[in-house]
Amino acid sequence: MKNKDFIDRLEQKAYLQKEEWIALFSSYDGEDRAYAAERARKTADRYFGKQVYIRGLIEFTSFCRNDCYYCGLRRSNEKAQRYRLLPEEILSCCKAGYELGFRTFVLQGGEDSYYTDERMETIIREIKARFPDCALTLSVGEKEEASYRRFYEAGADRYLLRHETAQEAHYNLLHPPEMSLPHRKECLRQLKRIGFQTGCGFMVGSPGQTPETLAEDMAFIHELHPQMVGIGPFLPHKDTPFAGKEKGGYELTLFLLSLIRLMERNVLLPATTALGTIHPKGREEGILAGANVVMPNLSPVSVRKKYSLYDDKICTGDEAAECIVCMKRRMQSIGYEIVSSRGDYVSIEKERE
Ligand code: 5AD
Ligand code: FES
């Protein structure tokens, strides 16, 4: 094991210098990964025990005005099948999810101008009125600060906006010129300031990623100190400019989950669908590496395949009820248990001092 000292220091101080991150990402081996996973799991067990939170993902629109080079839903992809769920359909997904024990709903979609602030406000209010004991997470991209405020005042609790990479040159390699890293970061700061439990995150192994860009990601996460972090391997989509690029590393994704757990200790950290797609035991191993959340899909099966961010996405043929049974079994197989609570972020600022 080459990097035990770095990993021990990270566990003790919840921080590493950029140069240390670069050294670690340039030289880690299998023993480092195993050791980091063991320490990370111990850390997660301290806050969450053997419990895993569930979030019901509702992919409510596949229309997107953006043109990110990696994403199958990019506006230039003429082969993408576009759909949007109507408010009634979203509500029936929530109802089905509620009966299955979900107490968090995640509304995720492309940046779709049909869903104006007014329509979003109506749907947020309706969900919170019908399911007052549930948390509502939004993941609908970059908006004006006034829109974020309006969503928060309507009752949305959490917001996911992955930063994708914290290094500007790398960001510009993944996105067309009309998008910018400073604006993305500004959105994240606004969301946090407004009071959302806020999530950032990135793809592991996206084209152009290096030990240096990963060091920037870790430094940015440390600085933002978000309540949630979403990461998963980059997976190519056949109808995008990145079709021929190599997929991200499975082991590196697990390692990063462990490092994020050691740095952000009590953060809400999902073992994502992309991790389950790249490896049949990805979500289980993600939990064992330090994750504590899984996000089964609640979208109607009729639209599942159309929400195609990357090729070969899993769970596109299964009803929500089957997914949850499958997920419960998977978690039990590693000694963990899915729980029905909202699973809010609990601050530990005192402990950090
Ligand atoms: N591979 C992996 N993840 C992807 N995402 C988008 N496209 C891909 C891809 N090809 C992720 C992005 C985005 C989230 C919704 O899905 O990080 O923020
Ligand atoms: Fe919409 Fe990538 S094109 S998020």
Asked if residue 162 lies in contact with residue 184, where contact means CB atoms within 8 angstroms, the answer is no
Q: Where are the domains of the chain?
A: 49-343
Residue 178 has pLDDT above 80, yes or no: yes
What confidence tens digit (pLDDT) does each residue in 26-74 have? 999 999 999 999 999 999 999 999 999 999 999 999 999 999 999 999 9
Phi and psi, residue 12, nearest 5°: -75, -45
Residue 201: beta bridge partners?
230
Residue 202: beta bridge partners?
164, 231
Residue 252 has pLDDT above 60, yes or no: yes
Residue of 137, 310, 312 to test ligand 1 pocket, by largest number of atoms within 8 Å of CB: 310
Residue with the two structure tokens 């090729």: 311
Q: Give the confidence band of 318 by pLDDT, cuts at 50, 70, 90.
A: confident
Q: Is 80 in the pocket of ligand 2 (CB under 6 A)?
A: no
Q: Is 159 in the pocket of ligand 1 (CB under 6 A)?
A: no
The pLDDT of residue 352: 56
What confidence tens digit (pLDDT) does each residue in 210-240 have? 999 999 999 999 999 999 999 999 999 999 9
Element at 58 (helix H, strand E):
strand 56-61
The pLDDT of residue 255: 99
Q: Which atom of ligand 2 is nearest to the CA of 70?
A: 2
Residue 353 has pLDDT above 60, yes or no: no
For the chain, give the percent of residues with pLDDT over 70. Answer: 99
**CA–CA separation, 103 vs 344, rounded Å?**
10
Q: Give the confidence band of 243 by pLDDT, cuts at 50, 70, 90.
A: very high
Instruction: Report which bound ligand comes closest to the CA of 175.
Output: 2
The pLDDT of residue 349: 82
Asked if residue 26 lies in contact with residue 20, where contact means CB atoms within 8 angstroms, the answer is no
Instruction: Report which bound ligand comes closest to the CA of 160.
Output: 1
End-to-end CA distance of the chain: 31
Residue bearing the CA closest to ligand 2, atom 4? 110
Residue 192's Cβ-side half-sphere holds a number of Cα atoms within 13 Å equal to: 18
The pLDDT of residue 212: 98
Q: Which atom of ligand 1 is nearest to the CA of 70?
A: 10
Residue bearing the CA closest to ligand 1, atom 3? 234
Average pLDDT, the chain: 97
Instruction: Report which bound ligand comes closest to the CA of 66.
Output: 2
Average pLDDT over residues 263-285: 98
What confidence tens digit (pLDDT) does each residue in 163-175 have? 999 999 999 999 9
Q: Is 235 in the pocket of ligand 1 (CB under 6 A)?
A: yes
Q: Is 64 in the pocket of ligand 2 (CB under 6 A)?
A: yes
What confidence tens digit (pLDDT) does each residue in 2-31 have? 999 999 999 999 999 999 999 999 999 999
Residue bearing the CA closest to ligand 2, atom 3? 74
Residue of 66, 138, 162, 171 to test ligand 2 pocket, by largest number of atoms within 8 Å of CB: 66
Average pLDDT over residues 154-171: 99
Residue 104: beta bridge partners?
135
Element at 260 (helix H, strand E):
helix 250-264
| Homologous superfamily of the 49-343 domain (CATH) | Aldolase class I (3.20.20.70)
